[in-house]
Homo-oligomer: A and B are copies of this chain.
Amino acid sequence: MSKKQKREKESGLGISVKKSEDLSEWYTQVIQKAELADYTSVSGCMVLRPWAYAIWENIQKYVDAKIKALGHKNVYFPMFIPESLLKKEAEHVEGFVPEVAWVTHAGSEKLAERLAVRPTSETIMYESYSKWVRSWRDLPLLLNQWCNVVRWEFKHPRPFLRTREFLWQEGHTVHATKEDADKESMTILLDVYTKLIENELAIAILNGKKTENEKFPGALYTTTMEAVMPDGKALQMGTSHNLGQNFAKAFNITFLDKDEKRKTVWQTSWGVTTRLIGAIIMAHGDDKGLVLPPKIAPTQAVIVPILFDKTKKEVLKEAEKIKESLENAGISTHLDDRDAYSAGFKFNEWELKGVPLRIEVGPRDIENKQVVLVRRDIGEKIIIKLSSLAKDAKKALDEMQKELLEKSKKSLDEKIKVAKEYNELKKIIDSAMIAKISWCENSKCEEKIKEETGATMRVMPFGEDVKTGAKCAVCGKAAKKVVYVGKSY
């Protein structure tokens, strides 16, 4: 074994467990070995390393462009919220205070009032909104911010999925009528978030409304997107709330309408977080590591040149040309020309990191005017003529994007089972799946499920009414809603 090989072997690139056998250990290894995140000495907080942060930047780019096109503008509000302000809306404070990190001192001085590190920014923002909104001319007010938030949870932390500090965007809008606020929260859920998750992240979701118990503290209602992970647990991918007039009343946000009458505004808030990176890892990864959907991958194609001393110069020159032609075709491409690593090592590394396409080019390929193209998700090696490479690579990326979503849809379908009775429901939950039930809408039935199975009502799907005569799967009374029930992250 050469020195290079020995070093490469010691670096332990490979994932040592199968995804299907130990998802939790597999997830931890992928995150560490693909250099997505790392632990720090702050319990429950982690570093987003360059590869993960670049995925986040792609998510940001997509959402930011979409919401700006809809008229939203970005702002930045202070991260600190005085305790008295946080406590202004009763349900809200109850929901968040148990997880608040408190600043009590500055330098050597004790502060007169404790400051919450924002768990979400409704209260600090709406204090300003009450100053800014005066007239119907000021509406709608459509603001958003990209920032960090802190929720000091005491459950077991898990990189991306549950960390005490995370990154997100939070949109906060103000409208003249309930209808405008309804429309805003639905536009964000369906036209921005759902498209992001299905078309860019290639993850199938269930979208709909949360139950009263599960809605955002202080909201009129919450709409949500729920994905289902390979272990059958639901993962909330993002939410959009119609806040009604709850905060508007607590913060006195009113406007003089065209009819000269003073009215109370209607509001929405909505957000997606770095948790989405965790969902991508879980949803698409395999035993070799990460698999990135082409539209969200920081690098879509990596060229690995096969280098021998004699032909090195020629091969690198050709590889440069290939890179240029792919970049010109709009494919973000990296040429891995590192001398200190073997081609085999590079194959493993880029598979681990989930780059959608690998292009191998050696001296014989150049002679034959061809390259080897490998799609990360299916692993099949195909020979491609150099003359049609850009076109074929683009096609491969499009097909991969499409097939990842199809696979995700299939996996989602397989994880859902209809339960008509409580015993069925329990069996489904016990077998790590999602139960689809009819429900009487009584919160006692909801609480019974939670207490006895550990599962919660995840989402009441849009546009799906209960069948005539359907009974609640828990109590047997007349059902009013269809609802998906499952354990969750």
Contact = CB atoms under 8 A, between A and B. Distances in A.
Interface of A: 38, 40-42, 45-50, 53-54, 56-57, 73-82, 85, 97-108, 114-115, 117, 124, 127-128, 131-132, 137, 143, 147-148, 150, 152, 154, 165, 167, 340
Given A99-B107, A103-B103, A137-B340, 7 more contacts: A40-B128, A45-B79, A47-B78, A101-B106, A102-B105, A104-B105, A105-B114
Nearest to A72: B50
A74 B53 contact: yes
18 contacts: A38-B131, A42-B80, A42-B82, A45-B79, A47-B75, A47-B77, A47-B128, A48-B77, A80-B101, A99-B106, A102-B105, A103-B104, A104-B105, A107-B152, A107-B154, A117-B117, A137-B340, A147-B148
A74 B41 CA distance: 21
B75 A103 contact: no
Contact of A75 (B42, B48, B132, B152): B48
Given A131-B38, A147-B148, A148-B148, A54 B78 contact: no
Q: Which of A79, A80, A85, A97 is the most central at the interface, judged by chain B CB atoms within 10 Å of its CB?
A: A80
Contacts of A50: 73-75, 143
Q: How many copies does the complex hold?
A: 2
A299 to B, nearest CB: 12
Q: Which of A48, A57, A101 is the most central at the interface, judged by chain B CB atoms within 10 Å of its CB?
A: A101
A143 B48 CA distance: 11
Report, nearest first, the 6 A-B pairs whose CB atoms are least far apart.
A45-B78, A50-B73, A106-B152, A48-B76, A102-B105, A98-B107
B165 A82 contact: no
A105 B40 CA distance: 19
A107 B103 contact: no
Nearest to A115: B42
Contact of A42 (B78, B98, B105): B78
Contacts of A85: 41
A151 to B, nearest CB: 10
A70 to B, nearest CB: 14
A148 B79 CA distance: 8
A108 B75 CA distance: 31
A154 B106 CA distance: 10
Q: Which of A46, A76, A102 is the most central at the interface, judged by chain B CB atoms within 10 Å of its CB?
A: A76
